[in-house]
Chains A and B, each alone.
Chain A
């Protein structure tokens, strides 16, 4: 495929997406459900791509996504809830004097949220990343649980509003705000992955001993990857807060981390486009699979199994199936390309032809 053709395809694809977004934005009321799915997918995509940076590209196993997202989300929420609305939100204990006066615009708050997440990642990473990477999984998982229990603790009522959660977080003014921010975040991560640092990360994933013999400081690079990933996870959390409008400690349960893990595994470890594709599939899939949770009747016959909770069972089985039978996920470690798409359809076509040919020969 020629370069000019590819550019043309890219322009067409981007224009189609833009056209769809403009259409949705103009008919906000009618398509609010679809818009919310797209926004959520994009936010999850940021978290998934960030997770892929550590888990897929650097070969570290971090499971702190929910915790870092909580940090980002609470930072954004606390700094952006309008001052006049705060008394209403903190109706139980009132808000901390000092904090109650600070209000920041969305973007600085978002950056600050990411920054806090990155700093905390550094605090965990400095002791843990010097050792074998195994301990990172357990330390981050533990951290994520601690953050949640600290947020919900009555001692912090004046700051996090404890278990009552935070409300009245300003929502996005239009669909373009979250989409543009998410695209920007993903773009930055992609640029990083394709840079000299990204190559060093991949070298560490492939063989730590050899990477070290190539002059790559393992600890420094692992920490860099982990902190950058956590920064963007924090940003994704901040976006999530603004998307949801209401958050509490229950939003950031371990299941959130597992959702993102499922996205990354489904899309393919080490594939950014895979993660984006995965996040749309998983987010939309959760909605489509909602019927599993409702009792289903075919004629007079009550279909068994269909009741509350079944959806999550199906979901966890799905994760197992992907890990056990399609361990490469949708994209493996490849990225989307037009050639790949053309090849995919060609293969599909030729396989069908072969199948047909085989049948006719048999006759």
Chain B
């Protein structure tokens, strides 16, 4: 592998990793607050892809993008209200099964409405413009993704640590019941968490599908699983951790594909998970929680 191809792959990997990171943050936040693996998050990402296909057919990109972002956020909040909120006090397994139900429903609904055949993802102006640096060439989106990801992560960390709603989120994730007694409106905090998670998933979807160029009803499920793994790698509950986890997965996967092991690139993710759980179960940035007896 020459240096140029090496750098090329690095660039692709970082870009893919950025998109993964944005989805992983959604997982990590929801898990942090509700202790729920939101199996439907990956499918929401897929739905955001379809949304873009249809809105961009009728509107210019500067209107279509806000519509997609808002639409995804609304769907995310509706899912939380309908499928998760009624189960707040139910056993944890019930709410996870409900999440699986939503995931299945979104996939089947997409198959029913849009057929299982992949649909071409529209080209958003500027994003696909190719830049040339010596022997390296990459589209604008490849550069935009990691930068945008880092900016968003920075904003998120600021929000969690500096704002009132961020403080409320931290409180809810530490102790649900006490937070409620202290007058924090749990439902609005949870909705807000889902809104942020969905927003990032929508942004991630634009960046990811622009590179992949097509969407099908199942294109959210595997990336979804991988991003949860990314969140675990970084330490569940930690936003910078989710970003690092996303980058590790993205780069690792790109190199495996480049070396001709594309079939095993998915396996790589889960082997990484198992190894991480063996070596450092709390993830790179996770903190050990002690249960009170």
Interface residues of A (CB under 8 A from B): 55, 59, 61, 63, 124, 127-128, 130-131, 134-135, 137-139, 141-143, 145-146, 149-150, 152-155, 209, 254-255, 258, 261, 265, 269, 307-310, 312-313, 315-317, 319-320, 323-324, 327
Contact = CB atoms under 8 A, between A and B. Distances in A.
A142 B93 contact: no
Contacts of A152: 263
Contacts, number: 114
A354 B72 CA distance: 50
Given A316-B101, A323-B98, 10 more contacts: A61-B96, A138-B232, A155-B263, A261-B100, A269-B93, A308-B112, A315-B104, A319-B101, A319-B104, A323-B101
B278 interface: yes
A312 B217 CA distance: 13
B273 A142 contact: yes
Specify the main secondary structure of chain B where it touches its partner: helix
B105 interface: yes
Nearest to B265: A149
B116 to A, nearest CB: 8
Contacts of A153: 263-264
A309 B109 CA distance: 8
Contacts of A308: 112
B98 to A, nearest CB: 5
Nearest to A128: B277
A320 B102 CA distance: 7
Interface residues of B, number: 42
Contact of A312 (B83, B108, B291): B108
A129 to B, nearest CB: 10
Interface string B5-36: 00000000000000000000000000000010
Contacts of B274: 124, 127-128, 139
- Among all A-B residue pairs, the 10 with the closest Cβ atoms: A309-B112, A153-B263, A142-B270, A316-B105, A312-B108, A316-B104, A320-B101, A127-B278, A146-B267, A319-B101
A313 B35 contact: no
Given A55-B93, A320-B83, A324-B87, A145 B263 contact: no
B108 A309 contact: yes
A222 to B, nearest CB: 14
Contacts of A269: 93
B83 A138 contact: no
